[in-house]
A and B are shown apart, each in its own frame.
Chain A
Amino acid sequence: MKLAYWMYAGPAHIGTLRVASSFKNVHAIMHAPLGDDYFNVMRSMLERDRDFTPVTASVVDRHVLARGSQEKVVENITRKDREEKPDLVILTPTCTSSILQEDLQNFVSRASIETEADVLLADVNHYRVNELQASDRTLEQIVTFYMEKAKCNNILTKKTIKPSVNIIGAVSLGFHNQHDISELKRLFQDLDIQINQVIPENASVHDLKKLPSAWFNFVPYRETGLMTALYLKKEFNMPYIDITPMGIVQTATSIRSIEKLVNALGANVNYEKYIDEQTRFISQSAWFSRSIDCQNLTGKKAIVFGDSTHAAAMTRILHQEMGIHVAWCGTYCKYDEEWFREQVKGFCDEVIISDDHGLIGDLIAKTEPAAIFGTQMERHIGKRLNIPCGVISSPVHIQNFPLSYRPFLGYEGTNQIADLVYNSFTLGMEDHLLEIFGGHDTTEALSIGISAGESLNWSDEAQKELSKIPGFVRGKVKRNTEKFARDCSRNLITLEVMYEAKEKISS
């Protein structure tokens, strides 16, 4: 048993559901007790999804506990097949079904005899993998399933004539994923590389068989997609690139490796001019780093924490591109430690690998950085310590699903990141003034409040009740109550008077 207050990565089934619900016309059925379908709330609230999340539960209740799921799971699968006519139904085990040890694979086989849809059992173990690992595995599982199916039917297509790419790993509830994908599409268009498929977001499982016609695969995020890319490499000898184009330098490195790769496959391209033009004149961030305003950031102390992709890229950007001192950087993706250490070597003083937010909080307090770049948890730690924080990675809140175009990848991404970094630090001139004059002193001015004239008497009870009312409305309640008391000439405000006032002059 582990005492835990908070976690960075969710349980395995969330990863499976994120992948399943990203595809078009794929329905996931969770084998889970009542209340475990909280995923639907997250999709509907965080992503503000207009459509019903294609996830339902085959509810595990007392009866199931006593007699097993029996026909229930099979019925739920065939029912969904009739109602929604999905291409694929994914039966998703949860922590509960892991320990019930029912033969879910058997239910899947039985159900698939009756259904039009394909049926798969997600092969993830709650106690072995987390959300991110599960999403990687589920995507690989779905791709493998449809590639095997296509192989049997012998309908694999040939390579495209022009260089082409599959972008693998954009999933729902991913950090700025939708914007990143748009930016990547634009980047590939600039490079004259055709987009063959983007999976899983918005993809149809029927198109998966066309994956091998791309020249290569592109995996923008470490967390989801690598297993699929490895499978496609093994089975179809498709090369892949997993250099995340985040930041000016890494974007250039990523583009150069694409150049090398497509040239090896027979293209004849040179992207150097494009990189140079973008870096110096189109994108603003390189010039921004050079501009005098940014001098104030030199040597400022920051810390970085997040998933491996974003934390590693951010550390590089702060150190290499902005001259900021990264006191330490870290990730909660413990299973990816080796890669992470390798990536950030030389860009920070220390590397922290942990999924204990308490430890991270203590470290931040000890380090006292000028800014934090982390997840929502670090933002709240920063709030408590009065240190500004830029959010760069999941887990996130609704405000990290912005309506406006906010990619983190590609050249527009570099602009966004530059803004984020700059706005996170106290602005240069303000900083100087604060230092010289010892801070803004506005307390005096603020405390000369808007007085309501001579104050009425409050009974102790009423006074106590008033103090329980949240600060931001307390003043209004006090004024309203006193006005009410004066109007009906009562000189002592008791609890009764308070509530009478609320009833009579509501809102």
Chain B
Amino acid sequence: MSTVQSDALTFECETGNYHTFCPISCVSWLYQKIEDSFFLVIGTKTCGYFLQNAMGVMIFAEPRYAMAELEEGDISAKLNDYEELRRLCLQIKKDRNPSVIFWIGTCTTEIIKMDLEGIAPKLESEIRVPIVVARANGLDYAFTQGEDTVLAAMAQRCPSYQHVKNTDSHVPLVLFGSLPDPVVTQLTLELKKQGIIVSGWLPSKRYTELPVIQEGYYVAGVNPFLSRTATTLMRRRKTKLIGAPFPIGPDGTRAWIEKICSIFNIEPKGLAEREKEIWESLEDYISLIRGKSVFFMGDNLLEVSLARFLTRCGMTVYEIGIPYMDKRYQAAELALLKNTCDEMNIMMPTIVEKPDNYNQLDRIRDLKPDLVITGMAHANPLEARGINTKWSVEFTFAQIHGFTNARDILELVTRPLRRNLSLSELGWDVYSKQG
């Protein structure tokens, strides 16, 4: 295990033998977010099986997604990729008439080197439906990074020409990251209170409403896993990235707003009181976790932000497992984490990139944390060994951003503790005969 000492945060890197969702899972939330889209995952039965099981009941609601299932003839190049994709996309156009078709490249299209980026423009002009290609495969990415690859591809499609002259008092600001509409409204309102106008979101509710992005615009991310999108916006669209902590938890939200305000030379108003009020309203939940310990096994890249928030709540974080750590994109978040640990006078956690689940389980056995935040593969076995767990996936699907939703994070974090508190009186903690 290689160890790099950076200030006081310790970064380690393990073997990468960990459980996470395949990045094609981003289809499940993105097709709902972008209402006029259709997602075509070009892969095998393995991809399809994962999606249909991971999406659960959503699959029965005629989702705007499908597999282009590769058969032996496609692999051995007996069939012509262009013709095959043309046939499928025409059918999709006929049946669903979407404003855009996303092609999600998978491990298989990578290995057989299917030239999706090359085929797409040709087919696009032939069938007259925009085709956006994103390579969200398990060879390169984990779980939420799938959204990053899709948004990075979409960033290229944002119009650069504005019909009406911009009348805002400041340089336009575009936010990036897919959030449920109510959360978009909430965050937009928070900034509006400070006199900041959000001129657009990537992604928007509809593909046809993608925001204008011009050279010199400011952009800010709302999620920690969007580093490719940030890079694309900076390098290809010549925008300026506001590096801020992410608006997760009242502390993160305040820091996020303050950073954006500082860019526009605005003195933030009433933020300290706002934050204080939110913290006070959370006290009933915080009293349940204060002084307790938590271990993040790592699978969705939200880990640093959540760990920072829970530290502020008074928890001790033993380990922050994370699939991939972009120290530049997350710089402000990492600084806030360090700062939070200092202020709370709590031990600095170790950040373990590409963790090894087997080793982690060993450490969990030794440390006996009060709560393990983990994927569903390990949750039940850990519970059977008397360890409280919360499924990490829920943080991806719950509304956790902004002041308004801080309570929802704690609702999730404290749920196992509240449930197990009520069961603990029964006296059966261990349900497995194995060690």
Residues of A within 8 A of B (CB): 1-7, 10-11, 13-14, 32-38, 40-42, 44-45, 48-53, 56-57, 59-62, 65, 76, 83, 94-96, 98-100, 126-128, 130, 377, 380, 383, 397, 465, 468-469, 495-496, 499, 502-504, 506-507
Contacts and interface: CB of A to CB of B under 8 A. Distances in A.
A397 B381 CA distance: 20
B403 to A, nearest CB: 7
Interface stretch (B123-131, B138-146, B290-298): B138-146
B189 A377 contact: no
Most buried by A among B46, B48, B63, B66: B46
A85 to B, nearest CB: 13
Contacts of B18: 34
A47 B30 CA distance: 30
Contact of B380 (A45, A65, A96, A99): A45
Query: For the side of the interface on B, what is the size category?
Result: 35 or more
Nearest to B146: A35
B79 A1 contact: yes
B376 A2 contact: no
B381 A35 contact: no
Contact of B68 (A3, A6, A52): A3
Interface stretch (B106-114, B151-159, B208-216, B305-313): B106-114
A42 B92 CA distance: 31
A440 B56 CA distance: 32
Contact of A34 (B20, B79, B380): B20
A420 B130 CA distance: 49
B70 to A, nearest CB: 6
A150 to B, nearest CB: 28
Contact of A33 (B53, B138, B181, B432): B138
25 contacts: A1-B71, A1-B74, A2-B67, A5-B65, A11-B45, A32-B138, A33-B22, A44-B377, A44-B381, A50-B431, A50-B434, A51-B432, A52-B361, A60-B107, A65-B111, A96-B108, A96-B111, A99-B111, A99-B112, A127-B71, A127-B72, A127-B75, A128-B72, A499-B404, A507-B411
B407 interface: yes
A248 to B, nearest CB: 34
A13 B84 CA distance: 26
A504 B17 CA distance: 44
B375 A51 contact: no
Interface string B349-389: 00000000010010000000000000111111100100000
Contact of B52 (A7, A128, A499): A7
B413 to A, nearest CB: 14
A446 to B, nearest CB: 25
Contacts of A99: 75, 108, 111-112
B306 to A, nearest CB: 19
A11 B49 contact: yes
B8 interface: no
Contacts of B432: 50-51
Contacts of A42: 53
B32 to A, nearest CB: 12
A50 B67 contact: no
B84 A35 contact: no
A5 B45 contact: no
Most buried by B among A50, A53, A100: A50
Contacts of B281: 503-504, 506
B60 interface: yes
A91 B22 CA distance: 21
Given A38-B53, A41-B375, A50 B142 contact: no
Most buried by A among B45, B281, B376, B431: B45
Contacts of B204: none
A32 to B, nearest CB: 8
B88 interface: yes
Given A34-B22, A100-B111, A127-B71, 15 more contacts: A2-B69, A4-B67, A5-B63, A5-B66, A6-B48, A6-B52, A34-B20, A35-B21, A38-B53, A44-B377, A52-B361, A94-B46, A95-B108, A468-B182, A499-B404
Nearest to B407: A506
Given A3-B67, A465-B185, A11 B46 contact: yes
Contacts of A3: 66-69, 88, 91-92
B44 A95 contact: yes
Contact of B17 (A1, A57, A502): A57
Given A11-B45, A42-B53, A95-B44, A2 B71 contact: yes
B375 A1 contact: no
B346 interface: no
Contacts of B189: 495-496, 499
Contacts of B45: 7, 10-11, 95, 126, 130
A503 B21 CA distance: 32
Contacts of B21: 35, 38
Contacts, number: 186
Nearest to A380: B60
Given A36-B22, A95-B44, A503-B281, A61 B50 contact: no
Of all A-B residue pairs in the complex, the 5 with the closest CB atoms, nearest first, are: A35-B22, A33-B138, A40-B377, A50-B384, A380-B60
Interface in B31-90: 42, 44-46, 48-50, 52-54, 56-57, 59-60, 63, 65-72, 74-75, 79, 84-85, 87-88
B376 A41 contact: yes
A498 to B, nearest CB: 9
B186 interface: yes
A14 B53 CA distance: 12
B278 interface: yes
A397 B49 CA distance: 14
Interface string B403-433: 1100100010000000000000000000110
Given A6-B59, A36-B46, A495-B189, A65 B91 contact: no
B19 interface: yes
A127 B70 CA distance: 9
B50 A38 contact: yes
A118 B50 CA distance: 30
B312 to A, nearest CB: 18
Contact of B140 (A61, A377, A496): A61
Contacts of B376: 41, 44-45
A77 to B, nearest CB: 13
Given A3-B67, A36-B22, A44 B139 contact: no
Contacts of B54: 38, 41
A468 B49 CA distance: 30
Contacts of A128: 72
Interface string B313-339: 000000000000000000000000000
Most buried by A among B17, B23, B66, B87: B17
Contacts of B182: 465, 468-469
Most buried by B among A34, A41, A45, A469: A34
Contact of A503 (B19, B181, B403): B403
Contacts of B70: 1
B143 A35 contact: yes
Most buried by A among B23, B67, B278, B281: B67
A95 B91 contact: no
A61 B434 contact: no
B49 A7 contact: yes
B283 to A, nearest CB: 12
A52 B321 CA distance: 19
B137 interface: yes
Nearest to A501: B404
A488 B48 CA distance: 52
Contact of B278 (A33, A36, A48, A503): A503
Contacts of A52: 361, 377-378, 381
B387 to A, nearest CB: 12
Contact of A62 (B75, B139, B379): B139
